[in-house]
A = this chain, B = another copy of it.
Amino acid sequence: MSDGTVLSDTAADVVKETLAECRAATLPALRDAVGELHPRLARISAYHLGWCEPDGRPTGVHAGKMLRAALAVLAARAFGAGTRTAVPGAVATELVHNFSLLHDDLMDADELRRGRPTAWVVFGAGPAVLAGDALLSKALRMTAEMKGTPEQPAGRTLTEAVSTIIRGQAADLGLDGFPVDRVGADDYLAACAKTSGLLGGCVAVGASLADAPAAGVRTLQAAAWDLGVAWQVADDVESIWGDPAASGKPAFGDLRRDKRTYPVIAALRSGTAAGSRLAGRLSSSGARGEDELAELARLVDEAGGRAEAERTAREHLDRAVHLLGKTGGDPVALDGLAALFRHVLDRHGRRTPAPAATPAMRGAAR
């Protein structure tokens, strides 16, 4: 099934329509939730979400596609529930996502997000941290009110996802400057939990709210976990070779901060001459100029790190889509989810496998 074709234009349009529809259904409740925070924290959160300028003037737009909300809504649909059933879960996942972005931007010292200064740059570290705390706290209050299946209460699902992403972020912090001779795939996969834990939480909360059988919830969660790994690996590729203008982030970001991303780890463990030269250069400390960063990127590529990363991302996406077909949910709705999964990887501008593991795309995903 990994024939390397991209989503057809029609399929991509259907996904975009679905995303827009899920966003429209969720955004008012998300605005309400943010509006209930202390005004100072509501302002910071609204700026971060792209809703307003630093001084509070509305922008009239929302930054981001609200992918996590869509995952929750589509997961609920896969088990027969309507959009409205999923909205509280969808809002809570978006709150958790933005809590983690607010804190991660500070942790990673990222100064730009979607081309705008990050919240900690604009409002200071303390207020940005507190706004993140407020979003998390609000999410967990919302989840505490949620119902779900008895074996898999929706609230507990999301509370566990929060622990998982924090654990993943802790592992991720350890990847900065990790000794080149010791870093391995396990360290990397532990860090992937920061992405996978939440994507798994999104589909699990949606499915739980739809009273899905526990086995179906678990399989769906495993599928989203694989999607998260694929995404993380693809993100690493983008961080080195992506177009800064398109990503809104500085070039060579991860190499600049000496982070052991997937392509770098694969290159270091390739047993190639380029991999050895890379190890030697990464072992020397000190700030690196643009030329040095470009040379590092070239060595990672020459050692096969980029190709290996692209293959790994595809494999995890394939497995994710395959698992979707095993959840026992509604095939049409699952096709919509599969298309969304592929779209997530497409957005990185990479070629992703054509639909295959679940019944052929039928333009479903209402």
Interface residues of A (CB under 8 A from B): 37-38, 40-41, 103, 106-109, 125-127, 129-130, 132-134, 136-138, 140-141, 144, 155-156, 159-160, 162-163, 166-167, 169-171, 173-174
Provided the pairs A155-B144, A159-B137, A159-B141 are in contact, do residues A169 and B108 lie with their beta carbons within 8 angstroms?
Answer: no
Task: Evaluate whether A129 and B144 lie within 8 angstroms (CB atoms) in the complex, with A40-B174, A134-B166, A166-B137 already known.
Answer: no
Contacts of A159 in B (CB 8 A): 137, 140-141, 144
A166-B137, A174-B40 known; A130 vs B103 contact (CB < 8 Å): yes
Enumerate 22 A-B pairs (CB-CB under 8 Å) in ascending A order.
A37-B167, A38-B166, A38-B167, A38-B171, A40-B170, A41-B167, A103-B129, A103-B130, A107-B125, A107-B126, A107-B127, A107-B129, A108-B126, A127-B170, A130-B166, A130-B169, A130-B173, A136-B136, A137-B159, A137-B163, A140-B140, A141-B159
A120 CB to closest chain B CB, in angstroms? 9
| Across-interface contacts of A144 in B (CB, < 8 A) | 144, 155-156, 159
Complex alpha-carbon distance, A339 and B207, angstroms? 50
Given A137-B159, A137-B162, the answer on whether A170 and B130 have CB atoms closer than 8 Å is yes
A174-B38 Cα distance, complex, nearest whole Å: 11
Report whether over half of chain A's contact residues are helix, strand or loop; otherwise say mixed.
Answer: helix
The 6 closest A-B pairs by CB, nearest first: A107-B126, A38-B170, A38-B167, A137-B162, A40-B170, A134-B166
> Chain B residues with Cβ under 8 A from A41's Cβ?
166-167, 170
The smallest C-beta distance from A88 to any residue of chain B, in angstroms, reads: 15
A162, B132: Cα distance in complex, Å: 13
Q: How far is the CA of A141 from the CA of B160 in the complex (A)?
A: 7
Cβ B140 vs Cβ A173 within 8 A: no
Interfacial chain B residues near A167, Cβ < 8 Å: 37-38, 41, 134
Q: Whole-angstrom distance between the alpha carbons of A40 and B174 in the complex?
A: 8
Interfacial chain B residues near A174, Cβ < 8 Å: 40
Closest to A138 in B: B163
A126 in complex: contacting residue of B106, B136, B162, CB < 8 Å: B106
* Cα A159 to Cα B139 with chains together (Å): 10
Closest to A153 in B: B144
In angstroms, Cα B103 to Cα A20, docked, is 36
Cα(A40)–Cα(B41), bound, Å: 29
Q: Which residues of chain B come closer than 8 Å to A106, judged between CB atoms?
A: 125-126, 129
Closest residue of B by beta carbon distance from A123: B173
A122 to chain B, nearest CB (A): 15
A127: chain B residues within 8 A (beta carbon): 107, 170, 173
